[in-house]
Structure 1
């Protein structure tokens, strides 16, 4: 008798939404027999890119099976593909590595060799990334129900980007996603209701971005159900920022005015709709946490 997986046994809960059930079923379908799924995906990739310069080089004659691919197409490193990547970077739009147009380059962190690597990607890849991100919360909600009831105080940031000589953007994968319409114009999803407005997340000045996101999180503290960042280091950086800037944050909250350190016009305009009145109770709470023995009045002058 077949034994249901943990996800399958939990999916039948009456509290699980139809959307979550659909996401969980998709995970089951993709992981029940990963070998056949991977072979199918490989076949689709080979079929779609059979006319590329790279695959033609190995004379696979349109074959889409795994055996032919493994026997004729070698395992390569980034350095092996660097000449082709450089041609694309310089503006060559012919089907070199992909039959679909390359729309941007994703960059590595550069921590391994000191130089960021360029990874060509197509528009369709954003759909796959969005699908991947949408699978996280349905799984979490199985074990910690009710995560869709409040807002998430997530510290999200974009990083610097550049353009290649051929005019294509080159940026980290998360920056690519946050700046895309998939994120900026995302449909309502209770799992992705953030305290941080898009204007703060998309600000390239990390100090202004952090300040605005922290301020919003404090102002919406009663609605915050989840707290986090993409990387653990980001959450630690946020806590350190709060320790170093609590006086200024308390002053803004106490007076209902935004610090002059925020000069990005898009953030200022958005924050004017959030920081609309003084919240003396919250300001005093922050001050009490840091100054339990007195001197509270000196903080908000």
Structure 2
């Protein structure tokens, strides 16, 4: 291993299983001391019977690394603050925050209950905002005291947030919101030595193994493209000092493929120089669309 994170302290939310576990183990293998956060809930966000964060922390320590478990609810202000406090009280610093926690409550829009909408937006979007806010407040204080950090935040979006996904209106909206949050945080926090990026991973986890079971099944032999461990190296690099100068970007990661995602930007335009009439717009707008790129298909759609 390159030990690219030697001396760094990294907090990983949702670090008890799947992608989060892979990230935590990968950071530890590169020399980081890791705060493993996981509330220990089921796929639907309801309380579970075990402590996956403690298991992963034990796994890191058994391999010779340093880790501590944190079981707080990072979608509450106190839980998010205690995550940052745990890093500072245990290791005396925080260098990287990986926002990864989440769960699913999939429904078609006409069947989607308000509670299921709120729950998914809460854990994904609010669960990104609050740890980010508390970590950023600490780093701002450090910067103002003349100790400008080499700080990193890695957020977790999804292809569903970039293109949409049928049956996942709540999840897609939350993941799209995370992209917007990433862009704003990158712009606001740059002055304090904080870089903020996001990934849109594709991997076999509890949230994907049922919906995409056949496509994401592990092969009998050869490269397992859907293993969550494939995504972790990019997250480690983004969370390390080596990624200097990279901020406000979104990367899609799947198997051995990494793609820089390019978001909304101005396409074809027309300016009349005066107010449009409704009847005029049919020809004008259709002309603009004819000269524009066709959006990628929504996941799960028929076209």
Superposition TM-score tier, normalisation by shorter sequence = under 0.3
Higher RCO structure, 1 or 2 (CA under 8 Å, sep 6+): 2
| Structure with more strand by fraction | 2
More helix by share: 1
